[in-house]
Amino acid sequence: MSNRSLAKNHADTTVLVTGGAGFIGSHTCVELLEQGYRVVVADDLSNSNSEALNRIRVITGVNDDQLTFYKANILDAQAMNRVFDENPIDAIIHFAGFKAVGESVVKPLEYYWNNITGTLTLCKVAREHGVKNLIFSSSATVYGDPEFIPITEDCPKHNATNPYGQTKSMIEQVLTDLYVGDTEWNIVLLRYFNPIGAHESGLIGEDPKGIPNNLVPYTARVAVGQLPYVHVYGADYDTPDGTGVRDYIHVMDLARGHVMTLDWMGGACGTGVATTLGTIAGIPDADGSRHGVEIFNLGTGTGSSVLDVIHAFGTACGRELPYRIEPRRAGDIATNYAACDKARDELGWVARYDLKRMCEDSWRWQSKNPDGYRS
C-alpha cells in the first residue's frame, strides 16, 4: 500500500502518538492539538497516568473526537490493528518505550524486548495500513562518548553505555533499513538532549514513578521536601565549575520541534537534501510530502553544569537547595551539548526557552503537584 501524504491541512491530519500520556508525549499532544491536528494516543500506562490526558483536554479545550485514547501496548498487534482500523492515521510519533537508564542495566532483556519488539510490531501494523510517516523519539545517548563537541548530526555513533541507549541506536538502524527496503517510508529520527521543564499551566509535567533518575525531577523533589539533598556525581571534571555539563531543553520547545518536523515531512520549510545516513533523505514527492530518513538534533546548543541547574532551581523556588558532592559515576562524560544548526536551517526550529524558564516551569508543576498526578 502506498504511503499517506502529509501535504494537507492539520485539521485533516490524524497523528498517532505512542506513549502519549508520558512526559514528552503529553506535552507534544498539547502542541499538536493547539496546531489543529487530530490526535490518537496509544499508551499502556505502565509508566504514565491517564490523568495527564484529562489535563491535556483542560489545557487545549478539545473534545473526545479530537483526542482519542486507547489503553494499548505497542507489543499487542491485535490492539494496534484496532487503533489503525478505527482511525484514519496519517503519521506516527513514536515515544512508547522503557526509559530508565539504571533499570535497563538490571533488566536488559525486558528493555530489548519492549523497545525493539514493540517498534517492530508497530511498524508492521502501520505498513499493513499504508501508514509510512514516522517520527522516532531517539536520544543523544546514541553518540556515546562523542568525538567532538558541540555534537552535530554527522558525529559518528558509538556504543551506548547502557541497554536503554542501545535500544535507541538499534531502532534507528531498523528504521533506516526499513526505508532502504521500501522507499515510500518518510522517517525522521529526532535525537533529544536533556528535556526538562513543564507546561506553563503547571497542569502537566514530569511524573517519574519512585525515586527519579534524572537531575531536575530529583532536584524538584528536594525542593518540595521529599528528598534531603541533591547528589552531585563528580566535581573534578574539566568544566568551569568541575561538575558535568549537559544540554537541557524545555519540553515545550521539544514538543514544538515534533510539530515542525511533521510540517517539514509534509513538504514545508528547508531544502531537504542534507543527509547523514548515506541515503538521499527528505526528498519531496510530486505532492510536496517527502520520503527518506533524516536526523535532527534537538537541544539548545548551550551547556549548563549540574550546579547551574541546582542554583537555577533554587532561584525558582526561592531558597538554596542542599547538595552533596559524591564520586563520579561510571560512564559519565564531562561535557555534552548539541549543535542544532541543521534543525534551524531545515525545520526553521530554534529553542526559545533558557534554563531559568525551564526551572521556573518545573517548579510550578512540582509545587502544584508534589505527588505528581497521584495528588
CATH number at 77 reads 3.40.50.720
**How confident is the model at residue 161, as a pLDDT?**
83
Is pLDDT of 375 > 90? no
Q: Is residue 277 pLDDT above 70, yes or no?
A: no
Burial of 136 (0-12, 13-18, 19+ CB in 10 A): buried
Q: What pLDDT was estimated at residue 269?
A: 60
What letter represents residue 270's amino acid?
A: G
Residue 41 has pLDDT above 70, yes or no: yes
- Amino acid identity for residue 154 in this structure: D
Dihedral, CA atoms, 127, 111, 370, 252, nearest 10 degrees?
A: -40
More confident residue, 185 or 268: 185
Residue at 153: amino acid letter: E
CA distance 139 to 191: 4
| Pairwise CA distance, residues 11 & 34, whole Å | 11
Q: What is the pLDDT of residue 278?
A: 38
Q: With CA atoms as reference, report the closest residue to 307 among 371, 364, 242.
A: 242
Q: Domain for residue 325, yes or no?
A: no
Contacts of 22 (CB under 8 A, 6+ apart): 43, 47, 48, 52, 95, 96
Closest C-alpha among 78, 21, 7 to residue 268: 7
The percent of the chain in helix, strand and coil, each rounded to the nearest 5, is: 40, 20, 45
Check residue 375 and report its DSSP letter: -
pLDDT over 50 at 273, yes or no: no
Q: Is 139 a domain residue?
A: yes
Dist. CA 336–CA 213, nearest whole Å:
18
pLDDT, residue 274, reads: 39
Centre a 10 Å sphere on the Cβ of residue 125 and count the other Cβ atoms it contains: 22
Instruction: Flag whether 155 is in a domain.
Output: yes
Sign of the C-alpha dihedral, residues 116, 98, 194, 351?
positive
Which entry of 111, 143, 164, 179 is annotated as an active-site residue?
Answer: 164
Mean predicted confidence (pLDDT) in 59-76: 96
Q: What is the per-residue pLDDT across 75-122, written as a single tens digit (0 to 9) for each?
A: 999 999 999 999 999 999 999 999 988 899 999 999 999 999 999 999
Residue 226 resides in a domain: no
CA–CA gap between residue 170 and residue 93 (Å, rounded)? 17
How many whole angstroms separate alpha carbon 20 and alpha carbon 18? 5
How many structural domains comprise the chain?
Answer: 1
Residue 217 lies in a domain: no
Asked if 70 is an active-site residue, the reply is: no
Q: Domain for residue 235, yes or no?
A: no
Joined together, the cell numbers standing for residue 137 give: 523519539
Whether 35 has a pLDDT exceeding 90, the answer reads yes
Q: What's the pLDDT score for residue 249?
A: 98
Instruction: Assign residue 246 a region (left: φ > 0; alpha: ψ between -120 and 50; beta: otherwise).
Output: beta
Predicted confidence band of residue 289 (pLDDT cuts 50, 70, 90) = confident
Does 327 reside within a domain? Answer: no
CA distance 83 to 69: 9
Residue 346 inside a domain? The answer is no
pLDDT tens per residue, range 134-169: 999 999 999 998 999 999 999 999 988 899 999 999
How are strands ordered across the β-sheet holding 38-43? Answer: 67-71, 38-43, 14-18, 91-94, 133-139, 186-192, 290-298, 283-284
Q: Give the whole-number percent of the chain exceeding pLDDT 90.
A: 85
Between β-strands 245-246 and 304-305, what pairing exists: parallel, antiparallel or unpaired? Answer: antiparallel
60 has a pLDDT exceeding 80? yes
What is the per-residue pLDDT for 283? Answer: 67
Mind listing the pLDDT tens digit for each residue in 218-247? Answer: 999 999 999 999 999 999 999 999 999 999
What DSSP line would sit under 93-152, residue for residue? Answer: EE--S---HHHHHH-HHHHIIIIIIHHHHHHHHHHHTT--EEEEEEEGGGG-S-SSSSBP
- Which structural domain, as residue segments, surrounds residue 91? 10-197+248-299
Going by pLDDT thresholds of 50, 70 and 90, the confidence category of residue 210 is: confident
Q: Show the cell assigned to 78.
A: 491485535
- What value does the mean pLDDT take over residues 4-22? 95
pLDDT band of residue 1 (cuts 50, 70, 90) is low
